[in-house]
Structure 1
Amino acid sequence: MSSSEPSVEVTTTPSNQQRMNGLSFSELCCLFCCPPCPARIAAKLAFLPPEPTYSVVSDTTDTKQTLSLTERAEWQYTQRELDAFEVFFSRTNRGNRIACMYVRATPTPKYTILFSHGNAVDLGQMSSFYLGLGTRIGCNIFSYDYSGYGVSGGKPSEKNLYADIDAAWHSLRTRYGISPEHVILYGQSIGTVPTVDLASRYEVGAVILHSPLMSGMRVAFPNTKRTWFFDAFPSIDKVPKVASPVLVIHGTEDEVIDFSHGLAMYERCPRAVEPLWVEGAGHNDVELYSQYLDRLKQFISVDLVN
C-alpha cells in the first residue's frame, strides 16, 4: 500500500460494539420466566443502537439526498469524496423506512459488497471504513442501517433484521441493476445474522462471515448444545443451506463472540473456503491485522476465480 492511498485501518469497526452477554440475575429470570421468546432474547443480548452520527439532507427540490456527518462519525477523507456517496431510503415489508448508502469506491468494481455492519455503530461511523475497504479490494460497497439505527425508522428486532436486509437487497438489485452473481454478502458480528438468512435463500457471488455467532443462546450460555424454540438468531441452523462460497473470519481471542462460533459456522458451510483465523485478535480489531486485507484480496481474486 502506498502512503497516498486511503487507509482502512483508521476506521476499524468502532470499539463500542459492546458485549452481548452481560446479563444480571434478574434479567436472566426475566429472560426465561416471562416466558422466553426470540424478541426478548434479541433485545437483551444484541441491540445497542448509538446516537445517530449522520443525517440525510434533501435539496430544495427534494430530488437529491446527501450525507451529512457529525464529528462523532470521524470522517477520514475529503468533502469531495463524501459528496460522491449516494444515500436514500428504502421501505421494508414491515413498514419501516431504512437508510441505505452506496459507495462507489472504484470505477471498475469486481463485485459490489452488501455489507451488514456490527452492533453499536451506524452508517456514519462506518463510512470511512467502507470507502477505504472498497478502494483496497476493488469493490463498491452498499450498506444500510437496521431499523432503529442511525436515521432508520422502527425499532431493532430479529424480524426487522431480516426485513431490513431484504429491502437493502431488493434496492441494490433494482436501483443499480446488479446481478446476484456480482454481489458479495458481508456480515460482521450481529450483521452475520441477516447475512446468513439472506444467503440461505438466494445464491450470490460469495458470502463473508466476520466474527459470526451460532445463535443468541449460544453466545449468552456457551454450553448450549442445541437450538431451543425460543432461541434468537439461529444462524447455525441456516448456514448449511448457503449455496455460495463462504469465507469465515474470526479472531482467536474474541471476547464477545467466542472463536468457537466461527469454527462451528465454518464447519457447517457446504462451500466454505480456507478461513481466516486471526491469532490474538479480539472482536473489534481484526481489521488492524495485515492478513485481513490480504485474505480478502485473495478471496476475491483467486478463490472466486478458481
Structure 2
Amino acid sequence: MSSQLRALIYPSHIPANARTDVPRPSQYDFKDYEELIIPTNDGEKLSAFYIRGPRGGPNSKVTVLMFHGNAGNIGHRLPIARMLIARTGCNVFMLEYRGYGISTGSPDESGLNLDAQTALDYLKDRAETRGHKIIVYGQSLGGAVAVKLVAKNQGRGDITGLILENTFLSMRKLIPSIMPPAKYLAYLCHQVWASDSLIPSINVPTLFLSGLQDEIVPPIHMKRLHDLSKAPVKIWKPLPGGDHNSSVIEEGYFEAIADFVQRTTTEKQE
C-alpha cells in the first residue's frame, strides 16, 4: 500500500516523458532567464528556471517562488510564469523537486521540504535576489510545500506573501477523496503534509485561489484552510468554473494575483 500511495502522491512520470521532455524558457519566447542546477545538502541536484521580469520595473525587486503540483515538470508551467510576469512584472523562480523533470533523486515529504528550503536559501544567498521580496506560490501539492516553507521561514522578513491554489488540508484527509478504497488505511500514509496544523501559525498575507469545480481536492479543503488562517491579510478568491487543473484559465485568476502582489509589496505590513 505504501508504494501505491507514494506513486499516487508523486506521479512524476506523468505525463509520458515528463522526466526527460522538459520545455525550456526559450520555447516560450523568454529572453532574460537562467537555467540552473542547484545542489541540496543531501547530495541531490535540482533543476530550476530563474526568469526575470522587466528590469527596472516597479516589481523588479520582487520574486515569485513557484512550486508546482504533483505531476509534470516546471517546463509545463512556463505559460503560467509568462502570465505572472506579464501581469505583475515580478521575477519568477521555478523549482523542480527531486525526482521530477531532470532533478535527481526520488520524491518524498522530507525531501521536497529540503528542496523548497534550498530554493529559498539560494534566492537569499544570490547577490541579485538577496534584497528581493519573496512571494511563495504553490499549486496543489505545491501549496503544501509552500505552507511548510513559509511557516518555517516567515520570521526572516523577506517573505511578503503566500499564494495557495487548490491545495489540501492534509494528505491523510485527502486520501479518502482520491482513493476511496484506502480511506481506512489513510493513517498508514507517512506522507502527512499537514497544512491544516501549520496554516494558523502563518502571519504573512495569504491569497486563497479555489476552483469550485475541483474534482481532485474537494473545495472544502481550501475553504477550511482559509478559515483556519490567522494571517493579517487573507483574501478568498473563488473561481466558480475552475477544476483542479484549469483554475489558472478562469477569469480573475491572474488579476487576483496582481492585486495581491501590489498590496503586499507596496503597503507597509504590521
Local SS of the residue matching 2:94: strand
Listed as ranges, the gaps of 5+ residues in structure 2 are none
Deviations 1:233-279 (A, max 9, x none): 11111111212111111111100111011011111111152211111
1:116 aligns with 67
Q: CA deviation at 1:122?
A: 1.0
Give the percent of matched residue pairs that are identical in Structure 1 and Structure 2: 24
Q: Does 1:192 align with 2:143?
A: yes
Is 1:104 the counterpart of 2:52 in the alignment? yes
Q: CA RMSD in A?
A: 2.4
Give the drift of 1:291.
0.9
1:280 deviates by 2.4
Comparing 45-54 with 212-221, greater Cα deviation is found at 45-54
Contact 2:241/2:250 (CA < 8 Å) preserved in 1?
Answer: no
What is the rounded CA distance, in whole Å, between the counterparts of 1:232 and 1:254 in structure 2? 21
Which deviations, in whole Å up to 9, do the C-alpha atoms of 1:100-152 show, x marking residues without a partner? 11001222252210000112121222223312321221211001100011110
Consecutive unaligned residues in structure 1, runs of 5 or more: 1-29, 32-39, 56-66, 70-74
* Number of the residue aligned with 2:40: 92
Residue identity matched to 1:298: D
Count of equivalent residues = 247
User: Which residue number in structure 2 is paired with residue 169 of structure 1?
Assistant: 120
Tell me the distance in 2 between the aligned counterparts of 1:198 and 1:303: 18
Judge conservation of contact 2:80–2:248 (CA < 8 Å) in 1: no
Paired residue type of 2:166? S
Partner of 2:168: 213
Taking the TM superposition and a 5 Å limit, the aligned residue runs for 1:1-306 are 30-31=1-2, 43-50=6-13, 51=17, 52-54=20-22, 67=24, 75=27, 77-78=28-29, 81-82=30-31, 84-107=32-55, 108=57, 110=59, 111-179=62-130, 182-203=133-154, 204-222=159-177, 230=190, 232-271=192-231, 272-302=233-263, 304-306=265-267
- Structure 2 residue matching 1:200: 3-state secondary structure: helix
Q: Which moved more, 1:190-199 or 1:265-274?
A: 265-274
Amino acid at match of 1:245: P
**What is the SS of the residue equivalent to 2:87?**
helix
What is the CA distance between 1:42 and its match in structure 2?
5.8
Asked whether the 8 Å contact 1:192–1:209 carries over to 2, the reply is: yes
Paired with 2:175 and 2:4, the residues of 1 have a C-alpha distance of 9
Larger radius of gyration: 1
Residues in 1 aligned to 2:151 and 2:4: alpha-carbon distance in whole angstroms: 22
Pairwise CA distance, 1:180: 7.3
The AA in structure 1 aligned to 2:123 is: L
